[in-house]
């Protein structure tokens, strides 16, 4: 099934790469990522020597914007970032690069979209599962308690594994994961008569941290390439799922299909089953977003920041009108999602986890040796007070 995705707020899905002032220059309201090869060819010989000398002398402090002379900026940019909200370019130490094709065209990876779907489906099962809390306790008793990312991994495997292992427990091998049968394509920008429906931007991102007196802004900005646009992707069921039902080793598959909102009988008509799966995913995602916005609303109210409140209200209003999901930078992990359920269902266990794991990057208020809830206590907003990563579908 083909879907049109439209970003409602800036999305950043990173490559893990960062670049500094030696790789960009500004012209008006655009920050240009330089092509080193084109720049080297364009510079006169004397300026090439000066270029290498400046890099040798200044290292990471080298600033290309200050080095280039009038007339040396033409034809050397790989791509441009629209600096619509006036990010102070001279103060940037590094920019987080967003994922792109080999032709420098940004896109939304299918793996990121699928990750958002996975989180919502897992949450939707866990919220009504009477065994959920006990499963988390088992994770804590058998896993590495020092690794917060392991919280809930056993439960996640229990929900998605399609094969029973030798010990009678769900097999942990990823090749037996239920979502192997759910195919999500990369989402590429829609082509219009005037070009791609996509804008590549430079955004400054503020981290708001909840303290005893409300939100405080962290004394730094995260600078990132972000995208706004309209994208097309496809969500399909792999035809292999029909044959997989007959495999003796995938003895949990038929039972696990309910996670996708279908039964084995539904797979007699793969196209119809696909429609049911997408409809089920959207309903689960809507319930998940309801809960996520309720959580963020509570943090924003305690934070008492009018700008943050305004940004959140924009998303809440959009959520009332349409279906959305969230991806990329500023979005919590699966363990944080499950932790929020633990916090609701068993506050004592949540306190135990937060205290023992010392969750949070900064020192937290202690009371009787225990760290206070809720966790996490930070939210990210752009400089124009927009939350990150919201996409309509």
Which pLDDT score, from 0 to 100, does residue 350 have? 83
Contacts of 160 (CB under 8 A, 6+ apart): 118, 122, 177, 178, 179, 256, 259
Q: What share of the chain is helix, strand, coil (3-state, %, to 5)?
A: 45, 25, 30
Where does the pLDDT of residue 293 fall: very low under 50, low under 70, confident under 90, or very high at 90 and above? very high
What number is the average pLDDT over the span 230-236? Answer: 98
Residue 173 above 60 pLDDT?
A: yes
Structure-block tokens of residue 110: 């299918």
What number is the average pLDDT over the span 195-201? Answer: 93
Which pLDDT score, from 0 to 100, does residue 175 have? 95
Cα distance between residue 293 and residue 309, in whole Å: 12
Tell me which of 30-39, 145-154, 188-197, 333-342 is least confident.
145-154
Residue 369 above 50 pLDDT?
A: no
What is the CB neighbour count within 10 angstroms for residue 249?
A: 12
DSSP 8-state assignment for residue 68: P
Where does the pLDDT of residue 251 fall: very low under 50, low under 70, confident under 90, or very high at 90 and above? very high
Cα distance between residue 358 and residue 366, in whole Å: 11
Phi and psi for 360 in degrees, rounded to 5?
105, 140
Which pLDDT score, from 0 to 100, does residue 138 have? 84
Per-domain boundaries in the chain: 110-185+233-378
Where does the pLDDT of residue 363 fall: very low under 50, low under 70, confident under 90, or very high at 90 and above? very low
Which pLDDT score, from 0 to 100, does residue 328 have? 94
């Amino acid at each position: 099934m083909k879907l049109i995705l439209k970003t409602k707020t800036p999305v950043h899905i990173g490559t893990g790469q960062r670049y500094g002032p030696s790789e960009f220059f500004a012209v008006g309201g655009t920050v240009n990522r330089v092509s080193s090869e084109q720049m080297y060819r364009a510079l006169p010989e004397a300026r090439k020597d000066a270029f290498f000398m400046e890099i040798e002398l200044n290292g990471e402090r080298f600033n290309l914007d200050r080095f280039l002379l009038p007339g040396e900026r033409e034809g050397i940019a790989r791509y441009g970032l629209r600096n619509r909200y006036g990010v102070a370019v001279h103060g940037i130490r590094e920019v987080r690069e967003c994922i792109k094709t080999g032709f420098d065209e940004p896109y939304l990876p299918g793996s990121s979209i699928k990750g958002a779907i996975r989180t919502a489906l897992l949450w939707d099962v866990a919220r009504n599962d009477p065994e959920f809390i006990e499963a988390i306790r088992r994770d804590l008793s058998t896993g590495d308690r020092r690794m917060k990312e392991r919280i809930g991994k056993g439960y996640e495997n229990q929900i998605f594994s399609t094969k029973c292992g030798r010990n009678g427990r769900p097999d942990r091998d990823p090749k037996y994961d239920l979502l192997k049968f759910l195919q999500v394509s990369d989402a590429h920008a829609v082509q219009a008569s005037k070009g791609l429906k996509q804008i590549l931007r430079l955004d400054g991102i503020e981290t708001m941290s909840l303290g005893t007196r409300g939100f405080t802004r962290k004394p730094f900005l995260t600078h990132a390439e972000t995208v706004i646009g309209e994208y097309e992707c496809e969500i399909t069921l792999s035809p292999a799922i029909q044959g997989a039902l007959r495999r003796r080793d995938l003895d949990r598959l038929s039972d696990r299909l309910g996670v996708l909102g279908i039964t084995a009988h539904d797979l007699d008509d793969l196209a119809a089953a696909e429609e049911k799966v997408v409809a089920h995913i959207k309903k689960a995602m809507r319930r998940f977003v309801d809960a996520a916005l309720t959580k963020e609303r509570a943090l924003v109210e305690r934070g008492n920041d009018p700008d943050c409140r305004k940004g959140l209200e924009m998303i809440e209003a959009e959520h009332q009108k349409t279906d959305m999901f969230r991806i990329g930078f500023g979005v919590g992990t699966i363990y944080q999602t499950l932790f929020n359920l633990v916090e609701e269902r068993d506050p004592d266990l949540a306190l135990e986890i937060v205290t023992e794991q010392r969750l949070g990057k900064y020192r937290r208020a202690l009371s009787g040796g225990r760290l206070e809830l809720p966790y996490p206590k930070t939210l990210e907003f752009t400089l124009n007070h927009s939350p990150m990563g919201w996409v309509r579908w």
